Amino acid sequence: MPANPKYLSSGTQRAAKITAGLIGGYLLSAMFHYVLGLVFENKAAVVVTSVYTLYMLWMVLFIIPFMMKSGGKAWTYYLVAIVLLAVIAYLIR
């Protein structure tokens, strides 16, 4: 039995959510681990740990946009967080 179309999101919303999760989630998790590398003294431990935690964080950040109504809102939240982490990284350096 097919799904009722009124409960499905449009193609553009679906594309915005997928790209927000895929690209925005990866960039956000990478920036988070970059800031962690700047904060902690033992950079080797951050690199070894980030191999696993970057993937896990990325998968969580990939799922979050699908729980939101709008893909644009997900992109907005992710871009604000990425810029905030970039500012923090700039201030630390």
**What contacts 90, CB < 8 A, 6 or more positions away?**
none
Domain boundaries, the chain: 11-92
Confidence of residue 43 (pLDDT cuts 50, 70, 90): confident
**What contacts 37, CB < 8 A, 6 or more positions away?**
43, 46, 47, 50
Q: What is the pLDDT of residues 7-36, one digit of tens each?
A: 788 889 999 999 999 999 999 999 999 999
Whole-number Å distance between alpha carbons of 21 and 48: 24
